[in-house]
Structure formats: C-alpha cells, structure tokens
C-alpha cells in the first residue's frame, strides 16, 4: 500500500468512480502497467482549505478527452496541495481495476 501520494494524481468524487477507472486504465495502457485506484480519505474541512487557498481547482475535461467525459469536471491539485494531503489523509487504500475488453472505454 502506498504511504504517500505522488506523481500524476487525479481526483474525482466517489460517485464518479467511472471517470477514475477510465483514467487509471488509460495511464496503465500508456505505461504498460496494471490499472489501479488509490483512495485517500481526508476531512472535508481539509479539502475545503485546499480549495480556498488555490491548491485544488475544479476544471472541465478537455475537448481531447473521451466524449463521455465532456460536460464533466475534474479536481486538479497542485504539488503543494499533494504535500498537504500527504500530511493530513485519514485513510488510504489501493485497489487494482479490471481492464476493459477491446472496444470499451
């Protein structure tokens, strides 16, 4: 189990797990690796502080992303925000994601 968040970290709200799985599969395919999700739990007040201080910004997906993602948003967290999360998460877990069959996203 990872002890710290690092590298390229993308955040989605729990109810948008499909987005997280999509990006985990895409990243794993690019790196010839197995897709996985890391769930980090933080107090709402901690995440709100990140937002207020500009370390977490909600942005729409790009036009280049999958059509199913258009009109949806993603949290982008700065490197400083990741360091704050590393110091303050309550729980963290790691879960492998099943690959999709050919033709699915």
Give me the residue spans of the domains in the chain.
14-96
pLDDT, one tens digit per residue, over 24-52 is 888 888 888 888 888 888 899 999 999 99
Give the sign of the dihedral formed by CA 42, CA 48, CA 54, CA 59.
positive
| pLDDT above 90 as % of the chain | 13
Q: What is the mean pLDDT of residues 67-80?
A: 84
Kindly give, in sequence order, each residue whose CB lies less than 8 Å from that of residue 5, ignoring residues fewer than 6 positions away. Answer: 38, 40, 82, 85, 86, 89, 92
pLDDT, one tens digit per residue, over 14-30 is 777 888 888 888 888 88
């Amino acid at each position: 189990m990872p002890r710290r968040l690092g590298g390229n970290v993308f955040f989605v709200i729990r109810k948008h797990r499909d987005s997280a799985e999509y990006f985990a599969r895409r990243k794993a395919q690019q790196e010839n690796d197995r897709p996985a999700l890391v769930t980090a739990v933080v107090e709402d007040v901690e995440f709100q502080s990140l937002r207020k201080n500009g370390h977490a910004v909600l942005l729409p997906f790009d036009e280049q992303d999958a059509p199913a993602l258009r009109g949806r948003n993603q949290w982008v967290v700065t490197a400083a925000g990741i360091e704050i999360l590393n110091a303050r998460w309550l729980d963290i877990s790691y879960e492998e994601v099943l690959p999709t069959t050919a033709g699915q996203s």
